[in-house]
Every structure is written in C-alpha cells, then in structure tokens.
Structure 1
Amino acid sequence: MSDDLLLRADDGGIATLTLNAPGSLNALSDAMLAALKAEFARLAEDNATRVVILNGAGKAFCAGHDLKEMQAGRAAEDKGRAYFADLFARCAEVMQMIPALPQPVIAEVHGIATAAGCQLVASCDMAVAAEGTRFGVNGVNIGLFCSTPMVALSRNVPRKIAFEMLTTGEFIDTARAADIGLVNRVVPSQTLGAETRALAETVAGKLSAAVKIGKRAFYDQIEMTRAAAYDHAASVMVENMLWRDTEEGIAAFIEKRKPDWS
C-alpha cells in the first residue's frame, strides 16, 4: 500500500481498511484513491475475507477530495479540465468497486464525512456512526456542487432530503442520518469499533457464498423494473437452493442442530 496511506488488518475473516492520512482528515487524494483501488482489486479476488470494515485514522472519517491538489491541477494549460475529468472518473471507479465487491463493506464513521467522504459512506453497504458525527455534501458552500457525491447519496436517502443537503450545504447529525437511512446504527463514540466489529462478525458468521450471491443480486435487482427484479431474484434463489450447503443449512434448521457447512 502507498506508504501506509491505507492500512489493512485481517482477523477472523474480517478485513479492516483504515484511511491513514489524519493530517488531511483522510482526504481522497490521488494517492489515497490509488491505494483504495488497489486494495479493492485485491479484495475482489480474496476468498478468505468475508466482511470489510472501512474506517479513518485521527479525528475524522473522510473530508472528501484534497482541495489543495485540485487547485494545483489548475496550473495546466487547459486550466485543469483534463485533470478534473480524470480525477472524478477515478473517484467514481473506486466508489463503484465497493458495491461490486463480493464482501459486504461496513463504513465505521466518526468526526465528519463530507462531500466525497459522505459519498464514500453512501457507497458502502452498511454504516455505523459514532454519536456526534456530522455528514454533509457541502461543496456548494465553496461554489462547487457535489454532483458526483449526489449519485451515491440520492440512491441512499429520499430525493427531497438529498436535494436539500446538496443545495444548502448544511450538515446533518447522526440522528438525522439514521432517520433518513444514510447510516444503519448510531453508537457511543467509545464503543464504535466494538459495535462495528460485532455487526461484521454477525455477517461473517453466515454462509459466505450465500451472502456473496445475495449482495450481487441486491444491487442487480435495484436497477431493474419490479417484474424483471422478481424474475432475476427467483433465478438466484433457485441457484442458491441447489447448493449442498443450503440443503444442509435447511436440514440443520429442521433438525434443530448447527449446520455442517463446507
């Protein structure tokens, strides 16, 4: 990984990735995006990892793009047009890798998650937030509408709330974030790590192959019409039902014993 810019710790089938640039509030710099892309690519081929936790070092989860880097990009002859196009394309690629991963990804959020940092939370499959965390897509406050963060945000929360956040640049607290569905759980800051780990362990304890096929089907069907979604989901369930481990799991439930999964 890029000079420890992104840390990884593995334990019990759970991989914890830590954004490790506390001095910039874990901004999504060019190097950070590259590190995330490389690690997500490794996880996509990692059959041993069942769940991924994504958190941030220091006093914040992620403050979004590195504005100093972005301003430096203006020095190019085209005033930064090519750099900005490439930056937002690379960021979009990284964000889309998260739902495409076979493992569920849980954001463990504290401090702030702003702009592309809020986009990162919205791109994860689940999120646990410490009390007092603030969320915002606040680019409009500096004259930059958060158009790419809007994509993930508007697929997580009701559209009128997303639009309000995008146009006012106002922050929301954890209670509001939970109410609108941006995060799953709000916990005391001192138990954030333990609570996130407990959720990860619950998911990791399920039949991994079933969770993987289910995650893929979940995102596939969201993009379909209702009828097509039912057709697709039914075909996935048929495939799932024919597995040996699923047959064993159902038999174990009926017989009131623990399944002997392979």
Structure 2
Amino acid sequence: MSDAAIDAGGAGKPGSGESGEPLLSETREHVRILTINRPQRMNSLSPELINALATAFTEAGHDPDVRAIVLTATGERAFCAGMDLKARAEADKAGAPYRYFMSEVNRFFLEIILETYKPTIAALNGATVAGGFELAMACDLRVAAQGIVMGLPEAKRAMGAHFCTVLLPRIIPRALALELLFTGEYISAERAKEIGLVNAVVPREQVLAAAFELAAKIARNAPVTVRRMKETAVKSSGLPLAAALRLNEGTNPYLAEDRIEGIQAFVEKREPVWKGR
C-alpha cells in the first residue's frame, strides 16, 4: 500500500459513521472494548484522542468489573494512522504551537497503556502505522486483519518513534526491529506474525470477534493471578534475572481468597466464581 493510501485525512469507509466522541467504550462479560472513532481521519491521533485513551485505560485498569481490555477502531481502512499529519501541516503553516505529546498525559499515554494492570489486546482492523503502530505495541497482545499493513515511517517524515525505538527490540530480534525503524518500510500482517509482532491473523470481518474471544478466555481466569503476571512481566523487562525473580508485584495469589476458590472449583468440577482478592 502506498503512503498516500494510508495518510491521515482520507474518507472513512461508507457507512462507518462517526459520532462526536473520539473514543467509544462498552463492557461485555468483564471485557472493556474501546473503539477509536475518527474514521474520516483514518483514526489518527489527536490531542483529544490521546487524552481520552489515557483516561479510558486508567479507568479500566482500576475498574474491578473489568478483567481484560480490547482496543480497536471504527471502519476498515485503518486501526490508527498515527498523528493527523494533514491537520499538523495546516497548523504548522498557521504558526500554531506543537501540541502533540506536550502535556504530561500526552507524553506518557503509551506508557499508561503499557502499564495498565489488566491484559490488553489490540484488534487491528486496518492499517497500523506510525503512532498507530506504537499504540498497538503498547498493548500486550495483537490480532490483525489479513492483508493490512504495519510499520513505522517516522524516519521518512523526520519524526520520532521514541517509544518503539526502546520497546520494539524487546519484542522482536534487534536486527529486525532496527530494520523496521531505519527503513520506515511497511510489512504485512502475515509478516508481522512471522516475526512475532502479532498473535493471530484472521479475516477482516473476524478481527474484533477473535480479539474478544481471546479477551474473554483471559477474563475467565483468576484476576489476581493474571494481574500479577501482567505487572511482573512488564516491570521485570530489562532487569537482571535475580532482580526480576525477586519482584513482588500486586496480590500474592497463594494468599488470596481466589486461590481457595480455584482449588475448590477444580475439586467440585465447576466453574470458579472469582472475587478478585
């Protein structure tokens, strides 16, 4: 796909619609589904959307009814095309100050998502590039639609990609990460799966369903255990092995009420009823 085809500002898929809210939210079966809702701008990032994402992930992380989070987007052309470059170009011509990532929330919103207590899954319904690629990498798991493109064109735009410059070599081999960063070239979802960037590639119409199924499977497990796994995995990254093994993040599941329930449910051959404590 050419750069022009995925530049922010293209028309959304007919019938995709767009309400006044840049981010939609609903909860099903202990799964919070967040939907980026700027299809007319290729679901590109704006300061308002960035703030909405930071707030939504923080709230979901602290909501005891939520056990997993799915992030997707409206329409089929793009999951997120990164910064709204057309809007930024117009602002530059008008001499407007650079607002992206300037506030404390905007600067750290990807870290907020990365460190959210609950497991997060990105359902990539369309092109996932630039800041949109970084947004997907901030999530724990990724389900992608067949044939979409993914990548970091920042080197071609004189932009940054600081988050993925640090994180990407921790997800895939360093040489592959640097190739994506240095060349700015896009790869297919299928190639992304081959190198470990996505967990599954499915037909486009099945992306959200597949991501939700995965999230629901996670949500059926003990919340105290899953949260401890998430926090430890994130916070131990880069630590020496001895230090990582001595981390003690969150509730110790062996001392939790849910451990008693989990064993009792197994013995009684029934589904456990988790309390999250």
Instruction: Quote how far apart the aligned CAs of 1:52 are.
Output: 0.8
Aligned alpha-carbon RMSD (Å)? 2.5
Aligned to 2:7: none
Q: Match for 1:249: what amino acid? A: G
| Distance apart, 1:60 and its partner CA | 0.9
1:211 aligns with 2:226: yes
Letter in 2 for 1:229: A
What amino acid sits opposite 1:93 in the alignment?
A: F
More helix by share: 1
Deviations 1:74-106 (A, max 9, x none): 4687x84x646616x644411111122221110
Can you give the 5+ residue segments of structure 2 that lack an aligned partner in the other structure? 1-18
Query: Residues 123 and 211 of structure 2 are in contact (CA less than 8 Å); yes or no, is this contact kept in structure 1?
Result: yes
The residue number in structure 1 matching 2:14 is none
Percent of paired sites with the same residue: 33
Quote the residue 2:102 is aligned against. 86
Segments of structure 1 that go 5 or more residues without pairing to the other structure are: none
Name the SS for the 1:28 alignment partner: coil
Equivalent of 1:64, from 70, 75, 82?
Answer: 82
Q: Does 1:158 align with 2:173?
A: yes
Counterpart of 1:174 in structure 2 is 189
8 Å CA contact retained: 2:228, 2:250: no
Q: 1:211 to 1:154 in 2, by over 3 A?
A: same
Partner of 2:44: helix, strand, or coil?
coil
Aligned length: 256
CA 1:15–1:85 in structure 2 vs 1: closer, same or farther (change >3 Å)?
A: closer
Give a deviation string over 1:118-148, Cα, whole Å, max 9, x none.
Answer: 0011100111001111101012223335334
Q: Structure 2 length normalisation: TM-score?
A: 0.83
Mapped contact 2:128–2:149 kept (Cα < 8 A): yes
Q: Rate the CA distance shift 1:205–1:144 in 2: closer, same or farther, 3 A.
A: same
Q: Partner of 1:48: helix, strand, or coil?
A: coil
Alignment partner of 1:33 out of 50, 67, 84 = 50
- The answer on whether the counterparts of 1:119 and 1:150 sit within 8 Å (CA) in structure 2 is no
2:263: which partner in 1? 250
TM-score for the superposition, normalised by structure 1:
0.87
Deviation at 1:66, TM superposition (A): 1.3
Are the structure 2 counterparts of residues 84 and 174 from structure 1 closer, same or farther at C-alpha, using a change threshold of 3 Å?
closer
